[in-house]
Structure 1
């Protein structure tokens, strides 16, 4: 068989199948495609002749998966970052090569148990552990995890129980089951996989939350400011006036949300504007939540979110003060764009990115929910929405909304903003809370607690999205226990089988 004699053909095949995975995510959404591509990967691992060959297969799959799936990163680096083309391509190659190491690691380890009855469970466990490491190593980049392909698909109800990461685990379990059935005609694992799929719709009965009957009127403002004008000093007043003009007709809403760094001045320099907006919002019995950059006297700089107008329902005036603790400071910073890793080595790279600052300070891991007009908002800035553990750590029974603000103008007319929204929708589904997403140029959207879009604005248009959002109460199981059950199963599986393998090897001597 060809797989037994050569590595290059199956590696090329797997790279192509990994690239096809892109079609499983927004905006394409061929949801079941990863089950096919992962099944082929699992079968190739069973046929691999060495752990090195298995790692190569996993690496090739990862190169295709990330090489096409996150190709939008090149837009931000080359088009808006001012990076020369060759340098941009080199950075992309390094990023893709790095991310492909994680499926390679999972493939390398799981191959060692290819003849074991438990291979499907071990493959899922290794993949889960590798993806878990990807989510935090070097600050983490958990983008395009395969479970996001199920946001609108058959397995979506599992999100309230095991989250996106658990859905990924089940997808690898199913893939391993298919591969084992093809190779050895062992039908126990396909039967288990079928149960996982058949149980999925019934999980809606234990989603853990219900609507309260109350609706909140919200307005999300999309300024559509060109990226090359966002930090132009001559455009500061123009941008601030535009947001004010867009907002005035909608000050009768309960909450108004502006995007990330919507105000293009540092917070200490924009106080006159902020106090005016604070007073205006309070007079209209509302609150405005906006992204803004802050620079402290000690030199610390933060990418943050503040609340203007009423903090609580009973407030009689504007509550904003510069020293207020009712703010959010971004925790997960974007490497190079917001902080310089290995600064002594890479300190000359950051200035190539057209940002007002190249090194932000990190906000705390645990931060109180924002209080805006009596509602509690769990905030995430930009790609922080891709980190479910951070969201769970700051989630409480009193959280009314998930809030994410972003500036996806960096990614132009690419697939990046669509993937970003899909990730945000998964967070709403996992935690059982409506989500408000305000962006500079799209995709601005309101998402209900079941992960469905209630409304959205078109991309690349200035406008205001208004909606009456149903409030909910209750907790999903995933919001209570997070990744711990699946992580425990994965670690036990890998640990016990590794120990058993060690014992058998020792006895063979």
Structure 2
């Protein structure tokens, strides 16, 4: 690690302050093409390197502006789909939805701005030290994942799910890949800046050598056993999801489409809140499904809403119907049984409204149906369905590897995630959501079942590869065999602490530099 930063100018470094800020903005904006559905992963290195060239040698205040500009372009292009749910389903005018989306993007841009500012503020000469940036980037991204319940969407590492760098995921995870991206981008930028070319070239060469070395390790292996699964994609329009007149047709639609599936499938998966009725009032339907599936040696996992009359709390829940263990003679569901999962990580506005008394009267967007949920426990038992142990997550929770790590067990066979991405229409939000799910499967070395209301429903293997899927906006059933695996990835054990360890080592280095000055 070096304290040199220096201002070296080249053809890519723009001197005009406003043009340079615009260049930082555009560098962030083109990052959208690195993520799904475009998935042009080399763009990540191009975009970040171009930004770093503008950032190099800037003062703390200048660095903050460049970080803010880069971050605003990054998120304005990357999460433009947010306004779809606000405008189409939140009852707000287009201009208001765009303003709210841009406000969210401005907030998220503060984190790259913080990283840029710290990389200058912590250096001796108070100019951006690019070698500091990978470490302070980890810090800013960690804050982004926890502040205001966290929004770690579009973290850089997700863009590499199909790149050679994905080989690092089972060891250091997506966060570790983001760290490597920043290190490589710094090395490339410094070579272009004609700074310490031997050291930076060595960093690139070592990284290239490590990729095939890491690919030699196989932490999990196939057991030779398979499970037959069916994932039902109902394709219910969002405006009908909580329509009382459509409620019975929706439930009967799922029941009818699943009757022929029980005989040939061990598991049948319905998406998030597939049953649009609170659990105590849906007992007739749940009992019917429980008996039908159990009698045919199958199991159903469905999303629904639970209301606890004792605590007067609502929960976004998954329940298991039919057989719990393979030796059960019939269905084992009954109201109040423990074989369920309550969503822990709630989506702000969509599932709970902060400062509700102030915001709900302002606009319909802050009073969406089912936006008053309570949190389930952070750690909950795996669901058991027909002898299969599943670590469950609902919708947004798939973006939080720490939560999944806390709930993966040695006996966990699969990861299950259910969602309703109808909120995001025909945008690239659902594609990014699926990309995140693929990274989780690769990190933990577990096959994943992903059932959604209108797509993208998919089965993902332990290597993060999609083995079967259903197109968006179709009413369909995905039936396939899932290969089970045994073994544990290093990431499952300690990889989620990688960023904390790196930040600690960097802090120790800073303290050492401070006292040696």
Q: TM-score, normalised to structure 2's length?
A: 0.94
Unaligned runs of 5+ in 1: 505-509
**Are 1:304 and 2:314 matched, yes or no?**
no
Q: TM-score, normalised to structure 1's length?
A: 0.95
Q: Residues of 2 paired with 1:502 and 1:97: CA distance?
A: 37
SS at match of 1:468: strand
Identify the residue that residue 3 of structure 2 maps to in structure 1: none
Identify the residue that residue 144 of structure 1 maps to in structure 2: 154
Correspondence for 2:51 among 41, 51, 63 = 41
Matches within 5 A, 1:134-283: 134-183=144-193, 184-251=195-262, 252-283=264-295
For 1:70-122, what per-residue CA distance to the aligned partner results, in whole angstroms no more than 9, with x for missing partners?
00011011011112223212211210000000000111111243979995552
For 1:127-156, what per-residue CA distance to the aligned partner results, in whole angstroms no more than 9, with x for missing partners?
111101101111000000010000011100
Correspondence for 2:498 among 485, 489, 493 = 485
Identify the residue that residue 307 of structure 2 maps to in structure 1: 295
Correspondence for 1:31 among 41, 52, 65 = 41
Unaligned runs of 5+ in 2: 1-8
Q: Residues of 2 paired with 1:77 and 1:304: CA distance?
A: 24
SS at match of 1:331: coil
Relative to structure 1, is the Cα distance of residues 466 and 501 closer, same or farther in structure 2, using a 3 angstrom cutoff? same
Q: Residues of 1 paired with 2:362 and 2:289: CA distance?
A: 37
**Are 1:55 and 2:67 matched, yes or no?**
no
Q: Which stretch has the larger CA shift, 385-394 or 116-125?
A: 116-125
For 1:353-400, what per-residue CA distance to the aligned partner results, in whole angstroms no more than 9, with x for missing partners?
564322110111101111100011111100100000000011111110
SS at match of 2:164: coil
Once the 2 structures are TM-superposed, how far is the Cα of residue 8 of structure 1 from its aligned partner? 1.4
Q: Which stretch has the larger CA shift, 483-492 or 468-477?
A: 483-492
Q: Is the 8 A contact 2:458 2:466 kept in 1?
A: yes
Relative to structure 1, is the Cα distance of residues 258 and 4 closer, same or farther in structure 2, using a 3 angstrom cutoff? closer
**Are 1:77 and 2:77 matched, yes or no?**
no
Count of matched residue pairs: 503
For 1:148-203, what per-residue CA distance to the aligned partner results, in whole angstroms no more than 9, with x for missing partners?
00001110010001000000000001111112222214321331233123312332
Q: Is the 8 A contact 1:125 1:494 kept in 2?
A: no
Q: Is the 8 A contact 2:23 2:51 kept in 1?
A: no
Q: Residues of 2 paired with 1:118 and 1:334: CA distance?
A: 35
Once the 2 structures are TM-superposed, how far is the Cα of residue 454 of structure 1 from its aligned partner? 0.2
Q: Residues of 2 paired with 1:354 and 1:270: CA distance?
A: 24
Once the 2 structures are TM-superposed, how far is the Cα of residue 501 of structure 1 from its aligned partner? 3.9
SS at match of 2:56: helix
SS at match of 2:370: coil
Q: Residues of 2 paired with 1:74 and 1:491: CA distance?
A: 38
Q: Residues of 2 paired with 1:491 and 1:4: CA distance?
A: 35
Q: Is the 8 A contact 1:160 1:207 kept in 2?
A: no
Q: Is the 8 A contact 1:27 1:418 kept in 2?
A: yes
Q: Residues of 1 paired with 2:381 and 2:249: CA distance?
A: 33
Q: Residues of 2 paired with 1:493 and 1:22: CA distance?
A: 30
Relative to structure 1, is the Cα distance of residues 90 and 205 closer, same or farther in structure 2, using a 3 angstrom cutoff? same
SS at match of 1:303: strand
Matches within 5 A, 1:12-27: 12-27=22-37
Q: Residues of 2 paired with 1:305 and 1:262: CA distance?
A: 10
